Structure 1
């Protein structure tokens, strides 16, 4: 869970500056009219000890973007990834299709996985987790509606099949299935996280037949469902937070070796 305290304003400004400096360092153009440039510039200029809720939201966005974008430093193709996040809006409240947000999901998930696993790379299909006995490939997909899930699953299966992985996982981001322009308001953080868990589980139950259809004939044996929101918790300090929830679905009847290996990824189900 990302929290922004009033005393953090120097840290938030530092993060915004670091992101801008990365564009300069890698000689990637960030247009001054882009959402990302305006967000970073406004945060550097306006975020202080006396801030409005809207400035708090901007700071939360910067905090969320920072770890993901900094993960680009671990890539052998830094410039490509930095260019990719300029191709479309990064506004989390905007539900339009955006290549930039697709890439951001890959970066966010790679960063999250790297906290739990030692050797994580940005590589085909999207993320590769290396183990002594073989690599696990993760294809990342961001769905804009329930209607385009099958198309995304099909793409993920093809990406995994092209490589000799021990097994594959499809990671699906469902942020776009939350109401546009909304903030999740709950009495406690636990209640907010429970809401996200319910959202993930509802998506799994509704689409399990699709998972079975596309995964059983391939080496894909698990699906990760990920959702993130800005939450308003009046009783919490600070009141506004970034919250995310990850839920896994796995194929039944796996051989013990695969069951043990995919079980390692259950650590990603911890909330934040």
Structure 2
């Protein structure tokens, strides 16, 4: 038996959804499975890298204990103890997600603060406790997503991520905000576009909605397409609740648009393995946005799908 959180790497299609908005809605999905042993080896490799670089991750910290879950899962499997409960499986997948994000940037000077926050914070992703570490993970998750689409993204302060658009369009910023409440958008939106203003370049505010899903839960659906449609609708519903504030920000030139992303663990009945990690991204802007805004977003879209 194999397990692995199937990582869904998402490409994008630009569609006209209603007269008032344009969405960049992810469609294509590439699946990759990993065994318990591969997960444990990857996580152990990260622990070694942290030690080699004198990056402190105390043995009793939330991150260290979570990383140990991945090794425990493989040991239980090899010993055939039948101790692989779903909670341990979920935690092992969380450990892999965190390890992959850190490994992406571990030797980049600009990532030191993000890694420090992750080693000192609550990193239990299935609970709904706000933490600076989870905020940092969102920055690294989005960076990894962009790079997986061959976008040369880099960490930068401020905002959180910067890229260089082609065709003479210059630097482009992405301010990353993780939300912990259905009602809390205007303050993080304002902080996000203020970060872009300090950078002095146009850009997006990118919202992570993971912690708006039920805690310690697994989404169950028959096919990956149904999971994608369900998460996409969640992103759309959240956007519509806050559409007035988002439209003002775009039409006032505060930002070009916003990106929404939701990642969940899912039991997809038509797939093998059935346990998956599934991500859905949506990029939104106002259809009547200035021409320069639409040109930059069209360019970004081309980079993502190209």
Conserved 8 A contact 1:93-1:182: yes
In structure 1, distance between residues paired with 2:252 and 2:107? 33
Q: SS at 1:185's partner residue? A: strand
The answer to whether the 8 A contact 1:117-1:129 is kept is no
| 2:188 paired residue number | 152
Deviations 1:174-203 (A, max 9, x none): 111111221111122211111101100101
Q: 2:148 aligns with which of 115, 136, 143?
A: 115
User: What residue is the counterpart of 2:173 in the other structure?
Assistant: 137
The alignment partner of 2:124 has SS state of coil
Gaps of 5+ in 1: none
Bigger strand fraction: 2
Q: Comparing 180-189 with 99-108, which one deviates more in the overlay?
A: 180-189
Give the aligned partner of residue 234 of structure 2. Answer: 199
- Displacement, 1:255? 4.4
Query: What is the CA-CA distance between 1:114 and the residue it aligns to?
Result: 1.3
Distance 2:248 2:291 in 1: 22
Secondary structure of 1:224 counterpart:
strand
Deviation at 1:268, TM superposition (A): 9.0
Give 2:139's aligned residue.
106
- Structure 2, unmatched stretches of 5+, are 1-5, 8-30
Residue 45 of structure 1: aligned partner = 72
Q: Does 1:128 align with 2:155?
A: no
Question: Could you tell me which residue of structure 2 aligns to residue 217 of structure 1?
Answer: 252
Secondary structure of the 2:183 match is helix
2:24 paired residue number: none
Separation (CA, whole Å) in 2 of partners of 1:243 and 1:267: 23
SS in 1 for 2:154: strand
Distance 1:127 1:22, change over 3 A: same
Q: TM-score, normalised by structure 2?
A: 0.80
Greater length-normalized contact order (CA 8 Å, ≥ 6 residues apart): 2
Q: Which moved more, 1:168-177 or 1:86-95?
A: 86-95
Q: 1:74 to 1:109 in 2, by over 3 A?
A: farther
The aligned counterpart of 2:54 is 27
Give 3-state SS (helix, strand or coil) of 1:220's partner.
coil
Distance in 1 of aligned mates of 2:253 and 2:179: 21
Find out whether 1:62 has 2:89 as its counterpart.
Answer: no
Q: CA separation in 1, counterparts of 2:137 and 2:32? A: 21
How many angstroms apart in 1 are the aligned matches of 2:296 and 2:145? 18
The alignment of Structure 1 onto Structure 2 pairs a total of residues equal to: 268
Query: Shift of the alpha carbon at 1:16?
Result: 0.6
Asked if the contact 2:220/2:268 (under 8 Å) is kept, the reply is: yes
Q: Contact 1:212 / 1:251 at 8 angstroms: preserved in 2?
A: yes
Structure 1 residue 41: Cα displacement: 1.6
**Corresponding position of 1:259:** 294
**CA RMSD in angstroms, aligned pairs only:** 2.3
Mean Cα displacement is larger for which, 26-35 or 220-229? 26-35
Give the corresponding residue for 1:247: 282
Give the aligned partner of residue 43 of structure 2.
16
When structure 1 is superposed on structure 2, of 51-60 and 195-204 the one drifting more is 51-60
Cα distance in 1, alignment partners of residues 229 and 197 from structure 2: 35
